[in-house]
Amino acid sequence: MISVFYHATHFIYLGRIEDGVKHFVRTTFDLLRETKPFTSPRTNILELRRILSDCNSILDVGCGRSSPLRFVSADSLVGVDVYRQELGEAKKLKTHDEFVLADAGELREYFKPDQFDACVVLDVIEHFTKEDGLRFLHDLETIARIKVVVFTPNGFLPQSSHEEGDYQEHSSGWETGEMRELGYRVIGLDGLKILRTDHHQLRFRPAPVWAIVSWISQKIWCRKHPDSAAALLCWKKL
């Protein structure tokens, strides 16, 4: 098993090293300027900030080109993705301190037990089969020291790939009850499930109006009743 720390071609560094110390150049992103009020994206990021407030090192698995974790404060934020094009775009935006080109199903080959305070997977686990997804959660719980955070659609949401190799097809669905049985706390996000379609897009138009309706439904009902929500935010303290 080859450790990524001795196989430098897997790492894409954004910082420079002076006197043996790495100086990060991750961009600082402004949540208020880049997200709209009364919308799910801003609310979801605020929830992530709250849950990760005690974590200084975070592994963002399946980070994509513009991960919501770019708005979360951490001393070390490492992004992992198997899609080279997405990782390249994230590198240009400087969303993380370090980037790793790797398959999410092979994390144990790259990272050590308890290496990060938190492992975070946003819209990732549903791309695994149920059996592989359970194995994936175990790997995350091994690599994380404090907690694991999972964001996923509520139940199975059919979704196919747009193009070959884009890793967008869904293979499983995850529900409140089973995540709680696995030891996770769960809240509902993205408003009522009936208001959303694939890729978390709003089902009805005009979108700005329904975005506010979705946000209101999340605030007054879905957060505490995740079974009715479009998406689940789950976290487990280790």
| Total number of domains constituting the chain | 1
CB 226 within 8 A of CB 186: yes
- 100 vs 60: CA distance, rounded Å: 10
Q: Does some domain include residue 29?
A: no
* pLDDT reported for residue 156: 78
Residue 27 domain-assigned? Answer: no
Residue 90, in any domain of the structure: yes
Between residues 39 and 49, the one the model is more confident about: 49
- Spatial separation of the C-alpha atoms in residues 14 and 88, rounded to whole Å: 11
The mean per-residue pLDDT over the stretch 79-105 comes to: 93
Please give the average per-residue pLDDT across 2-16, as a whole number.
36
Give the chain's mean pLDDT: 87
For residue 81, tell me if it sits in a domain. Answer: yes
**173-211 b/e with 16+ CB inside 10 Å = b?**
bbbbeebeebebebbbbbbbbebbeeebebeeeeeeebb
Tell me, yes or no, whether 31 lies in a domain.
no
The answer to which of 50-59, 80-89, 113-122 has the lowest mean pLDDT is 80-89
The pLDDT tens digits of the residues spanning 40-79 come to 999 999 999 999 999 999 999 999 999 999 999 999 999 9
Which pLDDT belongs to residue 76? 96
Indicate whether 10 pLDDT > 60: no
Alpha-carbon distance of 140 to 46, in angstroms, equals 22
Separation of alpha carbons 3 and 54, rounded Å: 27
Tell me the CATH number at 85: 3.40.50.150
Range(s) of the domain holding residue 115: 4-21+37-237
Average pLDDT over residues 171-192: 96
Q: Quote the pLDDT of residue 14.
A: 42
CA–CA distance, 150 with 179 (Å, rounded to integer)? 10
Summarize pLDDT for 126-149 with one digit per residue, the tens: 999 999 999 999 999 999 999 999
What integer is the mean pLDDT of 17-25?
41
Examine residue 78 and state whether it is found in any structural domain, yes or no.
Answer: yes
**What confidence score (pLDDT) does residue 17 get?**
33
Give the tokens for residue 195: 């208001």
